[in-house]
Amino acid sequence: MRILALDPGTVRVGVAVSDELQMIATPLEFIPAAPWADLLTRLKQILAEKDVGQIIVGMPRNMDGSYGPAAEKAREFVAALQAEIATPIRTWDERLTTRLASRMMSQAGRRAKDQKSRVDQAAAAVLLQGYLESVG
């Protein structure tokens, strides 16, 4: 069984998946956030293809640990997913995941122009790796 991580944004949803041993997170793709029906269709395909048993969704928090408006959007995203998908869903703190993903991509030699389309899935992988390390 694999774990899928989602890093929801207003334009794209980054997707990453664990290996079957739930030790390593790998960026998978990004899915356009709209239209919702297309996002759900693709997500259901991934869940079936990858044998996913749990979904982790990034929960934005302020640096002081409080929740802001972005967290409310993430809660709405989770509620909408739960209404459509039977796979268990859990939120996970995503503070600084996008910044860390961008830094890692820069250090790997990716140009800023190339990063734009891949940073969401890389952020989902950072999020998932943090989760895997915390429970492993």
What pLDDT, in 10s, does the model give residues 89-114?
Answer: 999 987 656 665 556 655 656 555 55
Q: Which of these, 85, 9, 23, 8, lies nearest to 54 by C-alpha position?
A: 85
Helix (H) or strand (E) holding 110: none
The pLDDT-based confidence of 69 (bands split at 50, 70, 90) is confident
Domain boundaries, the chain: 2-135
What pLDDT, in 10s, does the model give residues 19-49?
Answer: 999 999 999 999 999 999 999 999 999 999 9
CA distance 41 to 25: 23
Q: Are 77 and 115 in contact (CB under 8 A)?
A: no
Q: Cβ atoms within 10 A of the Cβ of 25, count?
A: 25
Task: Report pTM.
Answer: 0.83
- Second CATH level (architecture) for the domain 2-135: 2-Layer Sandwich (3.30)
Residue that has been written with the tokens 């998932």 in this structure: 128
3-class DSSP assignment, residue 4:
strand
